[in-house]
Chain A
Amino acid sequence: MPTFVYMTRCDGCGHCVDICPSDIMHIDTTYRRAYNLEPNMCWECYSCVKACPHQAIDVRGYADFAPLGHSVRAIRDEEKGVIAWRIKFRNGKKDLNLLAPITTKPWGKEIPQLASVSGPTKEQRDSQLLYNEPKYIRMDEGGLHTLESNGLVIKEGVYY
């Protein structure tokens, strides 16, 4: 496909270069704009498309099986917590607009700093519990499952 960059929209800001998981968005040294240098290692993950502030990056289906003339666009808005998609079919018969939430809370605010919560007790360290457990496991006052609590025993050399 993979991604390609519109010459007139890209200003070389490098957001796509910063985010691409496959390290294939690079800045072309002549044009000072981004481009995909290794299409056969691109996953169509859309990370660069979503990160581009100018909607300068688009995707074309892989040449070995996808005909030309279609479009799948995305605009992701962290402030509003939504992502909008538009899918246009090659034959023009389908034009879908879809919207999905990406978060239900203000971005990153609800994640605590574990350095500032009170540290673990010796009892917690010696137990099998993780942070915020057992409360967060079952949320019904129930504790951690163990072999004993669940009526299990290790069986040696059992073949079944």
Chain B
Amino acid sequence: MAYDTIIEDGIDILVAGAGLGGTGAAWEARFWGQDKKIVIAEKANIDRSGAVAQGLYAINCYMGTRWGENNPEDHVRYARIDLMGMVREDLLFDMARHVDSAVHQFEDWGLPLMRDPKKGSFLREGRWQIMIHGESYKPIVAEAAKKSADKVYNRICVTHLLMDESKPNRVAGAVGFNVRTGNYHVFKSKTVIVGAGGASNIYKPRSVGEGAGRVWYAPWSSGSAYGLMIGAGAKMTQMENKIVLARFKDGYGPVGAYFLHLKTYTCNGLGEEYESKWFPQLQEMVGKEYLDVEASHKTHRPIPTCLRNHAFISEVNAGRGPIHMVTMEAFQDPHLEEIGWHNFLGMTVGQAVLWASTDVDPKNQNPELTTSEPYVMGSHATGCGAWCSGPEDLSPPEYFWGYNRMTSVEGLFGAGDAVGGTPHAFSSGSFTEGRLAAKAACKYIDDGKAAGIVVSDKQINDRKEEIYKPLEHYTINRNEVVAGTVNPNYISPRQGLDRLQKLMDEYCGGVTVNYMTNEKLLNIGLQKMKLLEEDLEKVAAQDIHELLRAWELKHRHLAAESVFHHTLFRKETRWPGYYYRGDYMKVNDDDWHVLTVSRRDPETGEYTMEKAPLYHIVEKDA
């Protein structure tokens, strides 16, 4: 292939993927590494990339210690009960104790945060969320990252991490290609902070055709955080903890501000309250520990998000759908009506488009809700991601190997969706994790841990050949058929994605099987995943844009394979409403009050699974 090879050498910190996690990392790295070379490689344009590209109407993680509202341990308690016990409390506490400083900085930079006119504090839409005018949230934080970085490479699809050849299991940079010029980019770096995204579109979406792009999480979040790290042999945790969202139907419009600020509520198709009817049955499945309605009133322990999904799904299955959001009362207040619309325009414009096109005026009609297809990510109400070290003052020995947010691969750090076991970080927490990783990466370098890194030309050339193979495969085989997309020698990236989505949907608990799976289904699915992996060697890209899609698909496939192995390993339904193991329906705290950890051998592709102890640092209730 006639593409140039462009080598950027001598990098200290490479930030791969600059959404909220990556921008936080690049920004903070400059303070701790004043003379260090900081480079960003971003798949899109950092001004509008990542999940926050179109904006956010709320910052969903803010303690408010300044106003005496919450302390970090309160947040640990909240996230732990929401995830039914399974979180890395050290990482969560650490994120929570730093997150306010990120938010206060955002305000200084010009992000419009709404204030409570009476109290003077930030206007809340619930215990953890504050409301903002966040249309330009991403461009503002991108500006901060650009000020700190030596160089920003936009439009680089990072496909692989480079590995050090002088010391096993140590990172040495990354490679990828420019989706505009096609050039091959090599970044030799002492450390890499992965700020890439979680995985949308690995499950079959509810919508078809054009609508396949109207998913809840960004379609460009292609699981690269996981694809890159799994490919490098990093240990992963909680990959079975996929998330299902209850959202406004078809548009995936957010419901948080509606419930919490506008005080709307849900009812079934008959206009009845349905949720609490399912709690007794549900309590039998999960135990009183995780569903104690009385305690949730007394201590503000929330009903876990997945359990509310369970009630929703069960009610629809009982034939009493659709589930409606009762907006007709709140929207009679013109101020609340305006907030309702702004909420969409600031973060999910598609929902406003949908209501305008279907003449749904929530003032006169209660709109429908639905549950989404599953997603694999680490910063919303779910905690998939890499198994990372915690900070030295909070972590027990099993969770601590010296550098905060460093994965099990030396010199490889994570932030945002990349870090496992830290749900409820959202945007501000992801940015904060990036900052923490950046400080630790600087320390790692200053401690001399990155000395003597070797990357051979062979490794660089082998990767180059591998990256461009789909283009070559297309060129060689395209003329065997007259025209069209059907060829016996290859599949296109879209065809491969369709197969992955069907497979995940039907065997790994997607929406068309009501989020249900079992051991038999998972094993069949895994066999089919192997066949898909073989076919992905024959994926064909007719241009650079399709080459981008081909690599996104390969990252999605790695993430999906990991989800399969984790779901098979955890023999219980820990999060009913996110997914169900039909053969182990009950939560089993005796055997499974543990974190699950996997590693894929980069040479053989074999998975090893283990259980890791779950440590608690916070007492049950305040």
Contact = CB atoms under 8 A, between A and B. Distances in A.
Interface of A: 1-2, 18-23, 26, 37-47, 59, 61-72, 74, 76, 78, 81, 83, 85, 87-91, 93-94, 96, 98, 100-108, 110-115, 117, 119-120, 125, 128, 130-133, 136-140, 142, 144-147, 150, 152-160
Contacts of B472: none
A139 B357 CA distance: 47
Contacts of B218: 21-22, 43, 45
Specify the main secondary structure of chain B where it touches its partner.
Answer: helix
A44 to B, nearest CB: 4
A64 B211 contact: yes
Contact of B97 (A38, A137, A155): A137
B357 to A, nearest CB: 4
Contact of B110 (A104, A136, A145): A104
A23 B53 contact: no
Interface in B129-158: 133, 135-136, 140, 143-144, 147-148, 155
Contacts of A1: 210, 213-214, 350, 353
A61 B346 CA distance: 18
Interface string B92-110: 0110011011001100111
B363 to A, nearest CB: 9
Contacts of B616: 154-155, 158, 160
B349 interface: yes
Q: On chain B, which size bracket covers the interface?
A: 35 or more
User: Counting chain B CB atoms within 10 Å of each CB, which of A21, A46, A63, A89 scores highest?
Assistant: A21
Contact of A66 (B49, B179, B354): B354
A86 to B, nearest CB: 10
B27 interface: yes
A114 B349 contact: no
Interface string B342-356: 100110011011111
A71 to B, nearest CB: 7
B393 interface: yes
Contacts, number: 285
B48 A119 contact: no
Contacts of B50: 21
Interface stretch (B3-11, B64-72, B411-419, B554-562): B64-72
21 contacts: A20-B48, A21-B44, A21-B48, A22-B218, A22-B219, A23-B220, A23-B545, A41-B219, A44-B350, A64-B211, A71-B356, A78-B136, A90-B356, A94-B361, A100-B345, A110-B109, A113-B147, A114-B148, A130-B28, A138-B100, A150-B72
Contact of A93 (B148, B358, B361): B361
Q: Which of B27, B101, B220 counts the most A-chain CB atoms under 10 A from its CB? A: B101
A45 B545 contact: no
A91 B65 contact: no
A140 B439 CA distance: 24
A133 B98 contact: yes
Given A67-B358, A138-B65, A154-B615, A114 B143 contact: no
Contact of A87 (B32, B53, B341, B396): B341
B254 interface: no
B112 interface: yes
Contacts of B27: 114
